[in-house]
Amino acid sequence: METSRHGISPFSTTLSRTALKQMIHLVRDLQLLCEQPNYPSTLNNLLPVAHFNHSHYSVLMGYDFHITEDNQAKLIEVNTNAGGLWFADQSTHPGIKQFSSKLAQRLLATFLAEYRLFHKNNNATPKLLAIIDQDPEQQFLYPEMQIFAQLFKAAGIQCLIIDPRELVEKKAHLYFKGQRIDLIYNRHCDFYFSTPEMQVVHTAWKNQTTCITPNPRIYGLLADKQRMANWYQAESLEAQLPKKIASRLHKALPKTYLLNHFNSDDLWHQRKKWVFKPLNSYASRGVYIGAKLTKSKFTSFNAQETLVQEHIKPSITLNPDAEKFKTDFRLFTYRNEILALSARIYQGQVTNLRTQNGGFSRVTLL
């Protein structure tokens, strides 16, 4: 079925308004934390990039949740450059050829907001925008990038989809074939701009000569997996946020630690309670459910670079034939603004877009 191949499920799932409210609170509580003046200083030894000069935020954040049996929303992961919005929009508006009208307007406004914050000019508009990714035409989400390009071009903004290796730095600015880039929408999964192919982008970001969004600072403050372990230490939240908000945020977090927090033998015997995630990964790569973990794989984990997170079982969606699909929920956001809600339904250990009739799914609120 075509929808399966393209990551869109023909089925819908349900979510309670109570759980959605909890999810929205979590997004806004974390954004409040991110914008606290002293928050970056708490990450001094972990995140030097937090202190880079910074005047804007990050387009298209993604917050992923599981819903517990007692209807509590638990944060599983935070993403910058979250993918799949085009699939999510199609699951809600079948047959559309571009982003639905309301979403398109809100999306465009977020990119313009970033650019205007960067330039400190409420009337500034980019002339040329580049969407960058590694070998973009080979990416599964390349069609989504093309839809974004249509969005920008319809607003009178020229748009390129290119590999960062095609960028050239000249006079402290970024160029592609002699054309100066005003705004970069980063889809690359080198979130800290540390690989050789991203060095020219890193230089432009560090020198603040080009507006680049998402960027390493916001990734470090919100989406680096190690932040989940930092936030789970309740005192770190209480030092930054009002007690009521800190308590609410802590309640929405699963127990999360670095592997070096545990006695190895004890953890092995308790492994079924946990999920093991490499810090530097994305799209569920290298993630292991403890119940499926072998001893050899367990002993291979780097204790300083593996996150151990309480296993919150995903909720279940039944299709019309009573076939079971595991379900997680994603909020696409910009700062405090909720841009879209979608579910992802799947079978197997972790979220994927490979399950027959799985993928992004329409959500009905109860």
| CA gap 284, 225 in Å, rounded | 12
Q: Is residue 238 part of a domain?
A: no
Q: Average pLDDT of 312-333?
A: 90
Taking only the tens place, the pLDDT of each residue in 39-81 is 888 886 677 665 666 778 999 999 999 999 999 999 999 999 8
Q: Is residue 119 part of a domain?
A: yes
Q: What is the pLDDT of residue 210?
A: 93
CATH number at residue 156: 3.40.50.1760
Q: Is the pLDDT of residue 352 over 80?
A: no
| CA gap 125, 47 in Å, rounded | 31
Residue closest to 323 by CA, chosen among 13, 73, 47:
13
Q: What is the pLDDT of residue 3?
A: 44
pLDDT-above-70 percentage for the chain? 94
Question: Does the pTM of the predicted model rise above 0.75?
Answer: yes
Of 121-125, 196-200, 298-302, minimum mean pLDDT range: 298-302
Q: Is the pLDDT of residue 4 over 50?
A: no
Return the structure tokens found at 350. 């972790």
Q: Is residue 325 part of a domain?
A: no
Q: What is the pLDDT of residue 236?
A: 80
| CA gap 255, 313 in Å, rounded | 13
| CA gap 259, 303 in Å, rounded | 5
Q: What is the pLDDT of residue 283?
A: 58
Q: Is residue 187 part of a domain?
A: yes
Task: Give the residue numbers spanning the domain of 162.
Answer: 98-213
H-only helix segments in the chain: 2-5, 17-34, 85-92, 101-119, 142-154, 199-206, 216-218, 226-232, 234-238, 243-251, 264-269, 295-300
The band of 235, judged by pLDDT with boundaries at 50, 70 and 90, is confident
Q: What is the pLDDT of residue 1?
A: 37
| CA gap 333, 24 in Å, rounded | 10
Compute and round to an integer the Cα radius of gyration of the chain. 20
Q: Is residue 294 part of a domain?
A: no
* Contact indicator for 330, 64 with CB cutoff of 8 Å: yes
The band of 6, judged by pLDDT with boundaries at 50, 70 and 90, is low
Taking only the tens place, the pLDDT of each residue in 79-109 is 998 999 999 999 999 999 999 999 999 999 9
Q: Is residue 277 part of a domain?
A: no
* Contact indicator for 252, 227 with CB cutoff of 8 Å: no
Q: Is residue 245 part of a domain?
A: no
Residue closest to 23 by CA, chosen among 80, 81, 62, 55:
62
Number of domains in the chain: 1
* Contact indicator for 216, 244 with CB cutoff of 8 Å: no
| CA gap 34, 49 in Å, rounded | 14
Of 14-28, 49-63, 122-136, minimum mean pLDDT range: 49-63
Q: Is the pLDDT of residue 183 over 70?
A: yes
Q: What is the pLDDT of residue 2?
A: 42
| CA gap 126, 296 in Å, rounded | 52
Q: Is residue 93 part of a domain?
A: no
List Cα–Cα distances, 228 to 30, 104, 122, 132, 168, in angstroms: 11, 31, 35, 28, 36
